[in-house]
Structure 1
Amino acid sequence: MSSTAQLDQQLEEKIILVDTSDRQIGTAEKLQVHRDGLLHRAFSIFVLNSQGQLLLQRRAKHKYHSGGLWTNTCCSHPRNEETTLLAAHRRLQEEMGFDCDLKELFSFVYRAELDNDLIEYEFDHVFVGYSDREPILNPDEADDWKWIDLQVLQTDIREHSEAYTYWLRDCCDRFIAAL
């Protein structure tokens, strides 16, 4: 399947619409959700190594939004009738080529206007995992990765916020405080 066909299939995938208490109220196609700014369920995974460094990925440049920006280890949306935890394990394997134990730390809601006239309005469940494995990137999802010290990341986000995704900038401090 070509990259274009895979992107079309991903954008047609249905994701879970929720209310502000994370109760499911329906489903809709991913692209429609982001065009209309509908609140939907999502997750963000932060994997730390034994030195306490965070595994970042740089989103593939051709992604439908936020392409080329650095972000947390993995993020995505659960499918209808899929638990958020199972979806997190599935996407970690699909995007980064490995899996590890994950624990939910907290959740938060954010809304951001992104590039390509898209809106990200998510009820985001934040998971932490621990691994020293090097990722095997899925080039449809990410085109680079690195381990970074958490304090270095906080400073770099303050000094170069345009290099990072909105959701990472929004929850980095909360993530560090929750550890």
Structure 2
Amino acid sequence: MTSSKDEKLILVDEHDQPIGTGSKLSVHQDGLLHRAFSIFIFNGKGQLMLQRRALGKYHSGGLWTNTCCGHPRPDETVLGAAHRRLQEEMGFDCALHEAGTLTYRAEVSQGLIEHEFDHVFVGRFDGQVHPDPDEALDWQWVDLDTLHTALMTQPDTFTVWFKTIVEQPGGNLRNLKALALKLHTE
């Protein structure tokens, strides 16, 4: 079985056009631009599901972040990969809608660099959650006012990509929440 660190990532140019592949660990060691996704799931009360990354993750272990994130494999679509990882990490699946993209580059723990062309998805879910303990140490629903306070007073408890996404003009959590809630009523 292939280790998570050996998994192949899709290298892309600044327009998200594939230019090759690389192993997950080497791509993050070298800070190469690669395709990724981040998922934000809201419940019917408008609360965001946060995940606390498992301590055994190869970077950013123990930090709070968005519901789920990951990388598509060379043979799958971004949306297909998002559904796969949501099921693998959090133990459920739901309808997802792409809310936009962004590119960022940031140093993370263990001397690694996240340099991602990130596809941001939103969804709504009110059912049972069954996270994989190797992926998520903990999870919680949080209202946006409480989250905003935590981001201001305890920024080091959150992943760098989560803070980057929510600071983007289109990544405003209230905008993502409105989109997620609207999708459920259509």
TM-score, normalised via structure 1 length = 0.93
Query: 2:134 aligned with 1:131, yes or no?
Result: no
Alignment partners' CA distance in 1, 2:120 and 2:128: 21
**Unaligned runs of at least 5 residues, structure 2:** 179-186
CA RMSD of aligned residues (A): 1.2
Bigger mean CA deviation after superposition, 11-20 or 128-137: 128-137
Aligned length: 173
Q: Which of residues 134, 145, 152 is equivalent to 2:139?
A: 145
Residue 72 of structure 1 aligns with an amino acid whose one-letter code is N
Q: Check whether the contact 1:154–1:172 (CA below 8 A) recurs between aligned residues.
A: no
Query: 2:21 aligned with 1:27, yes or no?
Result: yes
Alignment partners' CA distance in 1, 2:129 and 2:66: 13
Alignment partners' CA distance in 2, 1:122 and 1:85: 16
Residue 35 of structure 1 aligns with an amino acid whose one-letter code is Q
Bigger mean CA deviation after superposition, 58-67 or 126-135: 126-135
| TM-fit CA distance, 1:134 | 3.1
| TM-fit CA distance, 1:115 | 1.1
Q: Which of residues 100, 106, 109 is equivalent to 2:103?
A: 109
| TM-fit CA distance, 1:160 | 0.6
Query: Which residue in 2 is equivalent to 1:76?
Result: 70
TM-score, normalised via structure 2 length = 0.90
Bigger mean CA deviation after superposition, 165-174 or 122-131: 165-174
| TM-fit CA distance, 1:175 | 3.8
Query: 2:146 aligned with 1:166, yes or no?
Result: no
Alignment partners' CA distance in 2, 1:85 and 1:115: 27
Query: Which residue in 2 is equivalent to 1:3?
Result: none
Query: Which residue in 2 is equivalent to 1:40?
Result: 34
**Unaligned runs of at least 5 residues, structure 1:** 1-5
Residue 163 of structure 1 aligns with an amino acid whose one-letter code is T
